[in-house]
Amino acid sequence: MVAEKIVVEAPAHSVELRNISFAFNSYKVEQTYLSFLDKLAQLMKDEDDITLTISGFADALGNKEYNKILSGKRAEQVKSYLIKQGIAANRIKTVAQGSSGFIAVNSNPDGSDNAEGRKFNRRVEITPENLPAETIVVKQQEIPEELKISK
């Protein structure tokens, strides 16, 4: 009997994409997200073709104009951090989405506020472009089922 050895090459890179959440009325990137952003910056240093679109979002509270500004500041804060890590600004586009694109409920069925759901809507989403073909993308999203918006 001849044993056959199978060699599986690991991909050159894997990237974990996760939303960055923000406290109410804040655009400060919390410490808990910095290691994720550091890994993303390293991947971008290793692969010069990768570009990012960083989209900022707000929850349903507040007026639309203010939320548009706040969501833009959230996206810009993430961009600023990546620039400080050595990533060229022209590789990162930011988009202010304001109070749109909700991924969790903002209110309960009776119309009362759902603060737990709103916290998932205060976020930044990072979309990479021009990833090498062998890159594995793992998306992390921790929204409890009862807070997800039903389609």
What is the residue extent of each domain of the chain? 14-147
According to CATH, the topology of domain 14-147 is 60s Ribosomal Protein L30; Chain: A; (3.30.1330)
pLDDT at 12: 60
- Low-confidence residues of the chain: pLDDT under 50: 1-2, 5-10
User: Structure pTM?
Assistant: 0.86
pLDDT at 104: 95
pLDDT at 2: 47
Torsions phi, psi for 22 (to 5 deg):
-130, 150
